[in-house]
Structure 1
Amino acid sequence: MVTSRDLFSLSGKRALITGASRGIGLTLARGLAEAGAEVVLNGRNAAALEAAQAELAKDGLAVKTAVFDVTDQADVKAGIERVEGSLGPLDIVINNAGIQRRGPLENFERADWDALITTNLNAVFFVGQAAAQHMIPRGRGKIINICSVQSELARPGIAPYTATKGAVKNLTRGMATDWARHGLQINGIAPGYFATEMNDALVKNAEFTDWLCKRTPAGRWGKVEELVGAAVFLSSDASSFVNGHVLMVDGGITVSV
Structure 2
Amino acid sequence: MGSFLSRNEFPVEGRTILITGGSRGLGLNAARQLAEKGANVIIVARNETKLQEGVAFISQGARTPGSQRFHHIAADVTTSAECARVVAEAIAWNNGSPPDIVWCCSGSAYPTLYIDTPPEQFQAMMDSNYFSCAYMAHAVLNAWLRSNPDGASPETPAEPNAGPRPARHIIFTGSFVSFYSFAGFTPYSPSKAAIRALSDSLSQEMNLYAAAHPNIPRVRVHTVFPATMPTQGLDEENRVKTDLTKALEEGDQILEPDEVARRAIRGLESGEDLVPTSTIIRLVMTSVLGGSARGGFWKGLVNTLLGWIVLVVMVFIRWEMDTKVTKWGKQHGSSGMIQQKSK
Give me the TM-score of the superposition, normalised by structure 1: 0.84
2:275 equivalent to 1:247: yes
Q: Deviations over 1:17-57 (max 9, x none)?
A: 00111111101111111111111111122221011112233
1:68 aligns with 2:75: yes
Give aligned-pair identity as a percent: 22
Structure 2 counterpart of 1:15: 17
Verify the 8 A CA contact 2:32 2:59 in the aligned structure 1.
no
Aligned residues: 247
For 1:191, the equivalent position in structure 2 comes to 226
* Per-residue deviation, 1:150: 0.8
In the aligned structure 1, how far is the partner of 2:50 from the partner of 2:237? 24
For residue 199 of structure 1, give the secondary structure of its aligned residue in structure 2.
helix
Aligned CA distance change for structure 1 residues 231 and 33 (closer, same or farther; 3 Å): farther
Q: How many Å separate the matches in 2 of 1:209 and 1:55?
A: 33
Larger radius of gyration: 2
Moved more, 110-119 or 66-75: 66-75
Between the aligned partners of 1:227 and 1:114, the Cα distance in structure 2 is 28
Alpha-carbon distance, 1:149 to partner: 0.4
Name the structure 1 match of 2:38.
36
Aligned partners of 2:194 and 2:51: how far apart in 1?
Answer: 28
Deviation at 1:13, TM superposition (A): 1.1
2: CA distance, partners of 1:186 / 1:235: 10
Residue in 2 aligned with 1:119? Answer: 128
User: Take 2:248 and 2:115, find their aligned partners in 1: how far apart are those partners?
Assistant: 25
Counterpart code for 1:74: A
Q: How does 1:1-257 map to 2 (within 5 A)?
A: 4=6, 9-60=11-62, 63-87=70-94, 88-136=97-145, 137-138=154-155, 140-182=167-209, 183-200=218-235, 212=249, 214=251, 216=252, 220-233=253-266, 236=269, 238-239=270-271, 245-253=273-281, 254-255=283-284, 257=317
Q: Is the 8 A contact 2:30 2:262 kept in 1?
A: no
Query: Per-residue displacement from partner, 1:54-84 (whole Å, max 9, x unpaired)?
Result: 2233445652112222012112102201111
Q: Compared with structure 1, are the counterparts of its residues 8 and 115 closer, same or farther at alpha carbon in structure 2 (3 Å cutoff)? A: closer
The offset of 1:250, in angstroms, is: 2.4
Superposed displacement of residue 9, structure 1: 3.8
Greater length-normalized contact order (CA 8 Å, ≥ 6 residues apart): 1
What is the CA–CA distance in structure 1 between the aligned matches of 2:50 and 2:139, rounded to whole Å? 24
| Contact 2:32-2:61 within 8 A present in 1 as well | no
Distance 1:12 1:44, change over 3 A: same
In 1, distance between residues paired with 2:26 and 2:261?
9
Change (3 A) 1:117 1:6: closer
Query: What SS is found at the alignment partner of 2:130?
Result: helix
Paired residue type of 2:276? M
Structure 1: gaps (5+ residues): none
- Provide the secondary structure at the position in 1 that maps to 2:188: helix
After superposition, the Cα gap between the structure-2 partners of 1:72 and 1:212, relative to the gap in structure 1 and judged at 3 Å, is closer
Taking the aligned partners of 1:44 and 1:145, their CA distance within structure 2 comes to: 19
